[in-house]
């Protein structure tokens, strides 16, 4: 990896950590119950994914959440002058860290449980 590329990724990650998180309502994440049921997992690229056998409601929720995430990632990518995929991967790390044990995660190699 070129040094300048590594520096850009480091600066992006640092900037994202310093950006205050969007205010969260007092209620739990709407994906939590579906994650606990195994219907939804988180991907390495920062997006959620409905797993096989997920209900239509779960699939609809994933589409809505991913649309919101895409907007956030696009905004951050423009601010940092990097690709949306780089932003998504940084957010994915933060999302996955917060997941409880047993949650499903899609890595580049496939599905696994945390």
pLDDT digits (tens, 9 = 90+) for 82-114: 999 999 999 999 999 999 999 999 999 999 999
pLDDT digits (tens, 9 = 90+) for 5-16: 555 665 566 555
Q: How far apart are alpha carbons 23 and 4 in whole angstroms?
A: 33
Length reported for the chain? 114
Average pLDDT over the chain, rounded to whole? 85
Q: Is 76 exposed, middle or buried (0-12, 13-18, 19+ CB in 10 A)?
A: buried
pLDDT digits (tens, 9 = 90+) for 32-41: 999 999 999 9
């Amino acid at each position: 990896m070129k040094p300048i590329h590594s520096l850009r990724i480091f600066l992006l990650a640092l900037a994202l950590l310093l950006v205050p998180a969007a205010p969260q309502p007092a209620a739990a994440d709407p994906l939590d119950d579906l994650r606990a049921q195994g219907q939804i997992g988180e991907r390495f690229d920062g997006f959620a994914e409905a797993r096989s056998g997920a209900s239509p409601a779960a699939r609809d929720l994933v589409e809505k959440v991913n649309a919101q995430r895409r907007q956030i990632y696009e905004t951050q990518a423009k601010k940092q002058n990097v690709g949306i995929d780089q932003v998504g991967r940084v957010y994915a790390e933060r999302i996955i860290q917060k997941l409880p044990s047993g949650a499903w995660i899609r890595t580049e190699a496939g599905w696994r449980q945390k």
